[in-house]
Amino acid sequence: MEISVVSTHPYHDQKPGTSGLRKQVAHFRKAHYLENFVQCIFDSQPGLRGAELILGGDGRFFNREAIQIILRIALANEIRKVTVGRAGILSTPAVSHLIRKRGAAGGIVLSASHNPGGPGGDFGIKFNVANGGPAPESVTNAIYAASREIQHYRIAQSPHVDIDHVGHTQLGEMEIEIVDPVADYADLMESLFDFDAMRALLQSGRFQMRFDAMHAVTGPYAREILEERLGAPQGTVMRPEPLADFGGRHPDPNLTHARELAELMFGREAPDFGAASDGDGDRNMILGRGFFVSPSDSLAVLAANARLVPAYRDGLRGVARSMPTSQAVDAVAQSLGIPCYETPTGWKFFGNLLDDGRITLCGEESFGTSSDHVREKDGLWAVLFWLNLIAARGESVSEIVRDHWRRFGRHYYSRHDYEEIDSDRAEALMERVRSALPELPGQEFGALRIRAADDFGYTDPVDGSISTGQGLRFLFEDDARLVYRLSGTGTHGATLRVYLERHETRPEQLDQDSQYALAPLIELAEQIADITGCTGKDRPDVVT
Ligand code: G6P
Ligand code: ZN
């Protein structure tokens, strides 16, 4: 097979963000843009040569084209074998599982997660390492460094590969295996949860659920697991077919973008349980009848009830959450007498803790939860965990959460997002807040007294690596917190995220609206940062 060495020039914007390289489709289609980045993965990861690579994506526009290009570059770079999900489909957790199960040297996931798809939408590429998890910063920095120097890439002049049929083919020296994207993952789920109890619940006639796949990758997974293996009625999975443009909507599992599901769950005929996942299947949203479970609470509830699930029957070694995630899980860890780690935002920071056996469960406020069964967050896993809990406890979602609040208190929580701000203005705002950090501790604002304030940094307890500048946080005397952080995943300008949290233990105060319960902190957030003055916005674009 003829290998071409193509001259190219570096692009200077190929620094992977919180979760891979994400750009608009048109940007990815610039001459050599994708090729450069893929070559830089291979150049900076010599361990891939002669090894197996897993490849798949969320089915968005440009997925199939990108797969053909990556196969040709892989062949030219002496990859021994590439395992591809049929039709180019593999969810992020399924890639993580396949890497681990097959002992592959890494994987490439083609997705821009919950960002919209289609010709005018976004595309993305993430590289996962041999433990199945997202590449750590040392790896993404090496890829980025290579991308600033690249002069050539290698590509085979090979024919188009049929990726729509399961089986083995040979492309020159390289083996290609097309696999059923769902089977291994569904088997894994079956090994973790009590499928008999869940099947009995779903077939009891007394319980109804809906899962919104948002025309993204989890449709085929949810159909196989919920409707086939667990026997839920056909139609339990809404919007099940993966579409290149996700039906023109954002595949983002929140109350705005999973509108039909939200209307159903807050309507008169609401089913008992509702859930949704995002573009690439790693996020989850959990709803009860007329009840939204905040992701931070979800993590805490799963941790507190883990022993009810077969895979976690022997208890948890420890838990972890990202810094801006609420401290609800800390309270559970404390009562269980297990460690709770606080990491920077981004799933990759959980990798070492999981590999080292320090934690079993982890999660983030950004609708991500998972365990040591893979090295990614896992949307359907979280949904099945909840279903298993509901079956085991015989209680509704809201009963389970309210009981949790009575035991541990409620961590009122909200995130306010200010989107598409001019990047310089956003940096200026952060700089101003940063310069106020030393002055504010000890000061009082109404009933709120600031105990400490810092620019969050993290030293990984396993390999000692240090990450600085991970969010500006204010800690108050009664465990309330206020955090400012710029998003690392946006593709248009900057997004300011303000995270607000307050702990409430008085039994009669557990059922308030979060925005009301957090009002004094919300006001203080504005006062400290002058968000309106800086951004010209007098309210957040998104409140979760
Ligand atoms: C991706 C990562 C998550 C992270 C999130 C943060 O989804 O996989 O681990 O929590 O990005 O996004 P942000 O926009 O806040 O940087
Ligand atoms: Zn995602």
CA of 406 to the centre of ligand 1 (A): 30
Say if ligand 1 is within 6 A of residue 117 CB: no
Q: Which of 122, 296, 366 for mutating ligand 1's site (highest number of atoms within 8 Å of CB)?
A: 366
CA of 318 to the centre of ligand 1 (A): 22
Return the ligand 1 atom nearest residue 488 CA: 16
CA of 111 to the centre of ligand 2 (A): 8
- Cβ–Cβ < 8 Å for 375, 101: no
Instruction: Tell me the average confidence (pLDDT) per consecutive run of 10 residues in the chain, 544 residues long.
Output: 94 89 95 98 96 97 97 97 98 98 97 93 96 92 96 96 97 96 98 98 95 97 98 96 94 91 96 97 97 97 98 98 98 98 94 96 97 97 98 97 97 95 91 91 87 95 92 92 89 90 94 94 92 89 88
Residue 467's H or E segment, with its range, is: strand 466-467
Q: For residue 486, which ligand has an atom nearest its CA?
A: 1
Cα–Cα distance measured from residue 478 to residue 502, given in angstroms and rounded to the nearest whole number: 8
CA of 392 to the centre of ligand 1 (A): 32
Q: 297 burial class (0-12, 13-18, 19+ CB within 10 angstroms)?
A: buried
- Cβ–Cβ < 8 Å for 125, 109: yes
Say if ligand 1 is within 6 A of residue 220 CB: no
Closest CA relative to residue 89, chosen from 282, 242, 247, 246 = 242
| Residue 264: half-sphere exposure toward Cβ, Cα within 13 Å | 19
Q: Which residues contact 424 (CB under 8 A, 6 or more apart)?
A: none
113 counts as catalytic = yes
Q: What angle do CA 104, 105, 109 make, to 5 degrees?
A: 85
What does the pLDDT read at residue 17? 81
Return the ligand 1 atom nearest residue 366 CA: 10
Q: Which of 15, 18, 92, 109 for mutating ligand 1's site (highest number of atoms within 8 Å of CB)?
A: 18
**Tally of helices (H runs) and strands (E runs) in the chain:** 18, 27
In order of 328, 345, 393, the CA distances from 333 in angstroms are 9, 20, 21
Return the ligand 1 atom nearest residue 17 CA: 16
What does the pLDDT read at residue 164? 97
Return the ligand 1 atom nearest residue 365 CA: 10
- All domains in the chain, ordered by first residue: 3-180 (3.40.120.10), 185-408 (3.40.120.10), 410-543 (3.30.310.50)
Residues around ligand 2, an ion, CB closer than 5 A: 113, 278, 280, 282
Q: For residue 113, which ligand has an atom nearest its CA?
A: 2
Say if ligand 1 is within 6 A of residue 488 CB: yes
Say if ligand 1 is within 6 A of residue 346 CB: yes
Q: Which residues contact 158 (CB under 8 A, 6 or more apart)?
A: 1, 71, 72, 75, 171, 172
For the chain, the helix, strand and coil percentages under 3-state DSSP, each to the nearest 5: 35, 25, 40
- Beta strands 444-445 and 448-455: pairing type? antiparallel
Cα–Cα distance measured from residue 371 to residue 378, given in angstroms and rounded to the nearest whole number: 8
Would you state the structure tokens that stand for residue 125, as one six-digit string? 């590429």
Whose tokens are 């780690």? That residue is 341
What does the pLDDT read at residue 536? 87
Cα–Cα distance measured from residue 459 to residue 211, given in angstroms and rounded to the nearest whole number: 38
Which member of 91, 113, 298, 414 is catalytic? 113
What does the pLDDT read at residue 491? 66
Sequential DSSP letters for 333-377 = HHHHT--EEEE-SSGGGGHHHHHTTS-SEEEETTTEEEETTSSS-
Would you state the structure tokens that stand for residue 416, as one six-digit string? 């306010």
Cα–Cα distance measured from residue 184 to residue 420, given in angstroms and rounded to the nearest whole number: 40
Q: What is the ipTM of this complex?
A: 0.96
Cα–Cα distance measured from residue 377 to residue 284, given in angstroms and rounded to the nearest whole number: 9
What does the pLDDT read at residue 444? 86
Cα–Cα distance measured from residue 140 to residue 126, given in angstroms and rounded to the nearest whole number: 10
